[in-house]
Structure 1
Amino acid sequence: METPAIPMPKDDRERQILDRITYIRDQLLLLKRDRTKYIRSQDVMVLYEQVVEEVKKLNEVRKGEEDKRENRLDRVLESCFQLLSLFFMTIGRTTEVPAAYALTSTIKRLLDHLTEAGLFSAKDLSSISNTLSNLDSILKNPNSAHSPYMVELLSKRVELCKTSLANLKKKLGQWEEPLPTIHEKLISILRSMSLASTKAKFHESEVQKLQVQLKEIDESRVDGNFVDADGRVPVGSDEASELLDRCLRWSNIVLDRKGAIPENFRAKYEVLIGIRNELEKVSLTQAWSLRETDLYDFQRELDKIDESRVDGNWLDEDGKPAELYVQRTLLYLVRRSYGYIYYLMISSEPVSEALLPIYNQLQTLKRCLLEVKESGGVSTVRELYPYSMKLHSIDNMRVDGKFMVGNDIPEGQGNVSELLAECFELSYDLRNEVEE
């Protein structure tokens, strides 16, 4: 974002807009860093409206100059949209247009990487396809009160992602049975080997077990080809065989290197390992520890590392490209980290962070009550007392039917109230079963 390769705007009007946008971006960063209080909708909306106002002015300035080269203003504006998008997730407005911006950025990265590597399975595309459909419905919502510019901008981004996704699906659709299953298995093994080589302690036996699976798949071939139940060579057999050979070669390289990264790429590797491990940790404790705006720093760091590649590879200080093992290992870590960011974004709850502690408690209560119900219920009403007491204590927190934080009414009231009602209903059903 700070790279001098991105020029300053030449137009004085654009320079003035850049100054104002930079100020708004700095305000967003300050708001993001403040952990002393939860993020309020009104604070976010004021800054969002200021950005939209500046965008209107920029569109007037650039009217008829659609092909204009990107300058510093575009980059700072992109940062603002990215931050605002994550803020909308944090305040629980996940189904509104601005929340889609950060998600489309991450999806675009994932699709570009899948296209570049040519290594992906139907599972990879399925989730992205569903997410893009959801974003489509948000953008086409006739009740959207957001700026037409934002809707148009995001619609173009979604369409771009859809085109990329369609090209990837087309490649997979060419394979005949039983190759899709074999292909998915090979992709899974390849990634498992890359994971094994990036663990804190390298376990040779882990890779050897995966190598055994590869040899079993290799032995299922007939005269070097995969065949179907009728003994016919299906379409895509050559590509699958090529992927299998690639996996076997990679297993030998991983076993030979044992996770050792040369010193000239060690610093970059450590940064990526740190990002991957941190995101993995957050994904395990997400409901209790994630503030979506924190993802901005991870994304920014990853984007910088990813964009520093030259012809798809990284160069050391002497301008020498990374060898195959290093390149693939670093790429695996970059892609894995983007994958975690995507997962955390689509898992964002439509509830303000101020209500998340209550919402998470109710989620846990609901899971417990469902498990009790599925395991045969309770034998006495007394067993339900702990659940009932907790539910009533949460219910008593409401003021005029609303969960308040100070004088504020945080976003997500409907979702929390609905979850509370579901818990009461489950408790009521269990009580009735005992009494009957």
Structure 2
Amino acid sequence: MTDSPSLRIPLDPKEQPILDKLLDLRTRLELLKQDRSTYVKSQDVVALYNQVIEQVEVVNALRMTKRHEQNRVDTVLDDCFQLISLSYLTIGKNHEAPAIYSAVSTMKRLLDHLKEATFYSPKDLESIGARLEDCQRYCERGKESYSPQLLTLLEARIDVCRKTLSELELNLSHLTPDLTPKYDKLVSILRSLSACNTRSKFPNAEVDDFLEQLKELHEELKPYGIVAYESTGTKEEKLAEMAEKLRLTIDHPEPAPEAKKLVETLLQRCFIWVVTIKGKQGRIAFPFKDTYDKLLDIKNKLEKLSLTQAWSLRETDLYSYQRQLDRIDESRVDGNFLDVLGRPADLYEQRTLLYLLRKSYATIFYLIISSEPVSEALLPIYNQLTTLRKCLLEVKKAGGVSSPRELYPYSMKLNSIDNMRVDGKFMVGSDIPDGQGSVTQLLEDCFELVYDLRTEVEESSSAGKSGDGDSESGDVPLK
């Protein structure tokens, strides 16, 4: 197994027993996530969490005079907390303090990358900001239940994220309401161009379409005094002019640039990137091809997971992707990807690799925040009810049913699920998995939808055929 990337410093001999115990706990957590013969049980995860916290208390006691030391104990401890966090999501304890560790770590990566990239949408910041508030709320709620050491660590990381978030918000603070939609459009185009650049076959027509959109935006922005290049001169001269403007902006960044400068800089980047990727046609320099292939494979697998998440994702599966990305991200030197000889990548390879890295972290963040607060043991039932609810809502949206008999399949399925409960609980053997409230609420919503649809059709039938004695005795009774 590979540790999280980190600088290695000599290990205090007194910490060796702690490291040995943490390595054993990490192995047990990994075996727990790999075992597909049964679902991950709450009692197993909570027991392992308690044992990790015991080791945290021991190491803190040893480091009373060296609080800032970081060695292999810390990297393995981080692995354990990541696995525990994802395991809490797997068992449906999404709103508990240990569950947010992985989300906060991923948000820290995303915020650092947004700061490095210097372009992002206000919506990016709103999403992360809202999630940080949720994490803070879960920490507050967990003060009576969870270790102060864990809560202190989480709150410190949340504070770091908030500080970076505030810096990024300041950077966009001068955007005006009329320029914000145009800035958002430019962010979207630049990301879409980078996505085109990673296709198996370079989509020239699609890139040309984005170029036309950029030209249209350029014309729309001229009344604001925003010009990416002079209208005269050759294509090469225009490109050189934009590159020089962009270089001056990057070399002399402003803490909170004016809206005009912010939009103009991004517009220039978009034009330069179109020319660059059309020239490269998706070809990556050989020294960076291996890293590119790894990142592309991770991105594609994560995107596939996002499409089938409800039915196939065990949140602990994200751990291996996180660690692979962390190793690649932390292998950079001063933000640069280096080849085997220590030479930095050219601008094209640098931006392409960073796009894949950031896109993968963003997908992990999406998968974490969209995880349902339901144990994987109840997910099959939860997913069936979610599908039933969607179907019933579509039926209602389409005008309802023409006969109560059309509701027979829905009633049958709902009653069969309802009959699975024992004393009002969905049991798996003798266990009562987490997420009972979410599943029960969904079941009741479905029953209510069927009842409303049945009532509507019966009232309509009574109004149209007063006194008609059509019998529905063959229907399954409602709850």
TM-score by length of 2: 0.87
- Which stretch has the larger CA shift, 83-92 or 194-203? 194-203
Corresponding residue for 1:230? none
Corresponding residue for 2:265? 242
- Which stretch has the larger CA shift, 136-145 or 382-391? 136-145
- 3-state SS, counterpart of residue 345 of structure 1: helix
- Paired with 2:8 and 2:393, the residues of 1 have a C-alpha distance of 55
How far off is 1:142 after superposition? 6.1
How far off is 1:256 after superposition? 0.9
Corresponding residue for 1:205? 205
- Paired with 2:177 and 2:422, the residues of 1 have a C-alpha distance of 60
- Alignment of 1:13 with 2:36, yes or no, is no
- Which stretch has the larger CA shift, 327-336 or 413-422? 413-422
Corresponding residue for 2:45? 44
Larger Cα-atom Rg: 2
Q: 1:420 to 1:221 in 2, by over 3 A?
A: closer
Corresponding residue for 2:401? 378
Is residue 91–residue 376 contact of structure 2 (8 Å, CA) maintained in 1? yes
Residue of structure 1 aligned with 2:307, choices 237, 262, 284 = 284
How far off is 1:153 after superposition? 1.1
Corresponding residue for 1:56? 57
- 3-state SS, counterpart of residue 222 of structure 1: helix
Corresponding residue for 1:264? 287
- Alignment of 1:31 with 2:54, yes or no, is no
Q: 1:419 to 1:185 in 2, by over 3 A?
A: same
Letter in 2 for 1:423: C
- 3-state SS, counterpart of residue 416 of structure 1: helix
- Paired with 1:356 and 1:36, the residues of 2 have a C-alpha distance of 15
Deviations, residues 252-287 of structure 1 (Å, cap 9, x unaligned): 111111111122111111111100000000001110
1:34-433 aligned at under 5 Å gives the runs: 34-67=35-68, 69-141=69-141, 144-222=144-222, 225-226=225-226, 235-433=258-456
Corresponding residue for 1:231? none
- Paired with 1:6 and 1:56, the residues of 2 have a C-alpha distance of 22
- Paired with 2:435 and 2:43, the residues of 1 have a C-alpha distance of 14
Deviations, residues 190-209 of structure 1 (Å, cap 9, x unaligned): 00000001012211001000
Is residue 45–residue 87 contact of structure 2 (8 Å, CA) maintained in 1? yes
Q: 1:388 to 1:143 in 2, by over 3 A?
A: farther
Letter in 1 for 2:59: L
- 3-state SS, counterpart of residue 15 of structure 1: helix
- Paired with 1:44 and 1:377, the residues of 2 have a C-alpha distance of 45
- Paired with 2:96 and 2:191, the residues of 1 have a C-alpha distance of 35
How far off is 1:74 after superposition? 0.6
- Paired with 2:6 and 2:174, the residues of 1 have a C-alpha distance of 45
Letter in 1 for 2:191: R
Is residue 362–residue 419 contact of structure 1 (8 Å, CA) maintained in 2? yes
- Paired with 1:368 and 1:2, the residues of 2 have a C-alpha distance of 44
TM-score by length of 1: 0.95
Is residue 8–residue 73 contact of structure 1 (8 Å, CA) maintained in 2? no
- Paired with 1:241 and 1:88, the residues of 2 have a C-alpha distance of 45
How far off is 1:179 after superposition? 2.1
How far off is 1:235 after superposition? 3.9
Is residue 143–residue 151 contact of structure 2 (8 Å, CA) maintained in 1? no
How far off is 1:136 after superposition? 1.1
- Paired with 2:418 and 2:308, the residues of 1 have a C-alpha distance of 25
Is residue 400–residue 453 contact of structure 2 (8 Å, CA) maintained in 1? yes
Structure 1: where are the runs of 5+ without partners?
228-233
Query: Over aligned residue pairs, what C-alpha RMSD do you find?
Result: 1.6
Letter in 2 for 1:362: L
